[in-house]
Structure 1
């Protein structure tokens, strides 16, 4: 970060705080022209008093502006910080629906535009661009909340607005959980359950259940996570009277996979096997890897979860063997988040069997696919610390560089 001009650092953090040059200038008591010259490097910032004022307005440590932040470099900063967490929290604390019961919104958001934004957010999540997503989520939450409040009455527009809001709560929950904000992740997932039921879409409610289960698991409540996933999966199970749709099989299968992960956390091998057998049947019926309801469910994702469950059970060797049986072409066809997540699980598996070289190599491969999945997740930091601590001799240069990017000390 030292080689980045200070003006560019100011511009970076101003943009991250969603401030225009004019707003930033007003808060500093300066002119827009002054800000523009600073950011372009035309005007020097050589007074510490001014630097401290800028840092206060941007709500960052002044050391970040000086390029001397001791723990993280610019690319690691593309994850999330507490200002952005608070912005998401504030958006989750809004209750737009209450005033709408008394005074209808005069200018509700256009559902077409909201729909496009929600689709883009899903893709951003599945490409593991968490920094981009966390900065977009507060506005997206406000927009979908406003749409849900505006369109009431049970008609198609009301159901679609609820559907879109339910999806955004799910996106928020998944993102927050990955970044270690587990309580907020549970709140967003719980909100998604309630809103999804209003949408009239049973399958959306099923996916929301997965988010609730994931949040409960992250909060250290695996038994509750197992129960909620299995209970709803039983409601969506194919009943034999008619063929289940691909969408139903995908959501049903995802619930089974998440239930298996919760059972693995408990150490319940029998339930893990039972749920994976049922998920295999659903995957076989589906006949391939698809992304219905953003589930990425299919035979390959099933294998990835089997490897992850083995790691949770402390059976790193089995996780490695499972990985070796995955078809490379099918694996490479999965979205980046899924692949990088698996490589993180694989790194944990290699660490369990003492193969620190391969553990580090898996982290490097995951970082090449989706940097935020490795650099931003607390569990990845734990694995990297383990690799650094247990590697015999000096770690390789690529590992040292990645550790620096992650802010993990050697």
Structure 2
């Protein structure tokens, strides 16, 4: 991915636009299904090919490259590769603006807010998310625009949670929930952050309550979610990982390990690759008695040799 973003290596011949559209659909499906080994091949190739199309390209060419960079940003954030994440998110913003794609511009702002939050720049992260949510163009973009606005408000809530402001987090999360309720029960903007619906707001609430310091509220939010109803394997795995963190904070060690194993069963490549999950596994190894199951998980995740 780094070489593709830096333009290193032999540039490919530009494939037809319809082939690129199909390749992006497959890359998004790989991400949603946590098929990261496949995505690691497909996504850099998609970005190289996208750049081959953009000199003098159409709005569709720029939009497709923006969406490819947004998908790359989501993966890089997941892997805690912040330097490349910043580059990918900024390129997504530039290509989205070139395409005149209001939704992709807003989603690139959300990803920049995520990266700012991870860097500890909470004030900047909050400003980026809320400014994008209030942009007039987004408010004029219909139901999809409202859904992306909900995702931005949700991101702002998570940033407030990181600052320990439980009341502010709940106020913003309730605002996102109200937007989702107005839009009905369907999952909208599936290719933006995993989609937006009342269910995905509840999923967000698990980690937000954890970071705001109330794991019991996080567990209550988790119990209101049907894993099967979540829109992708990636979202189900994320839910299980968040529940495992909740159990760890409540001191429920055996439930934490059981939930991590369930997450691995759901999406092994996600569980084995994500640094946050590997860190939790490492802490479990040193904080209490180990078991065959825990040690096996640690080996498969590369935590133990």
Q: Tell me the TM-score normalised to structure 2 length.
A: 0.91
- Within the candidate set 161, 185, 189, 1:288 is matched to 185
8 Å contact 1:304–1:342 — kept in the other structure?
A: yes
- Within the candidate set 311, 324, 327, 2:223 is matched to 324
8 Å contact 2:278–2:303 — kept in the other structure?
A: yes
8 Å contact 1:226–1:263 — kept in the other structure?
A: yes
Q: State the partner residue of 1:18.
A: none
Task: Report 1:3-402 matches (<5 A).
Answer: 88-94=1-7, 108-151=14-57, 158-235=58-135, 245-295=142-192, 296-327=195-226, 329-331=228-230, 334-391=231-288, 393-395=289-291, 397-402=292-297
Provide Cα deviations, 1:205-233, integer angstroms capped at 9, x if missing partner. 11111111122222232322221111101
| Offset, 1:236 | 5.5
Asked which structure has the greater CA Rg, the reply is 1
| Offset, 1:301 | 0.6
8 Å contact 1:257–1:276 — kept in the other structure?
A: yes
| Offset, 1:329 | 4.8
Provide Cα deviations, 1:303-357, integer angstroms capped at 9, x if missing partner. 01011101112322211111112245534xx201011111111111111110111
8 Å contact 2:34–2:267 — kept in the other structure?
A: yes
Distance 1:201 1:387 in 2: 45
8 Å contact 2:169–2:212 — kept in the other structure?
A: no
Provide Cα deviations, 1:161-208, integer angstroms capped at 9, x if missing partner. 000000111111111111121110111001101110111111111111
| Offset, 1:394 | 3.5
8 Å contact 1:165–1:192 — kept in the other structure?
A: yes
| Offset, 1:121 | 0.9
Q: State the partner residue of 2:300.
A: 405
8 Å contact 2:164–2:213 — kept in the other structure?
A: no
| Offset, 1:390 | 2.6
Q: Which consecutive unaligned segments of at least 5 residues does structure 1 have?
A: 1-87, 96-104, 152-157
8 Å contact 1:251–1:293 — kept in the other structure?
A: no
Point out 4+ residue stretches in structure 1 off by more than 6 angstroms: none
Distance 1:403 1:381 in 2: 8
Which of 218-227 and 123-132 deviates more?
Answer: 218-227
8 Å contact 1:223–1:266 — kept in the other structure?
A: no
8 Å contact 2:103–2:138 — kept in the other structure?
A: no
| Offset, 1:408 | 1.6
8 Å contact 2:190–2:196 — kept in the other structure?
A: no
| Offset, 1:238 | 8.0
Distance 1:191 1:237 in 2: 20
RMSD (Å) for aligned C-alpha atoms: 2.2
Q: Tell me the TM-score normalised to structure 1 length.
A: 0.69
8 Å contact 1:125–1:337 — kept in the other structure?
A: yes
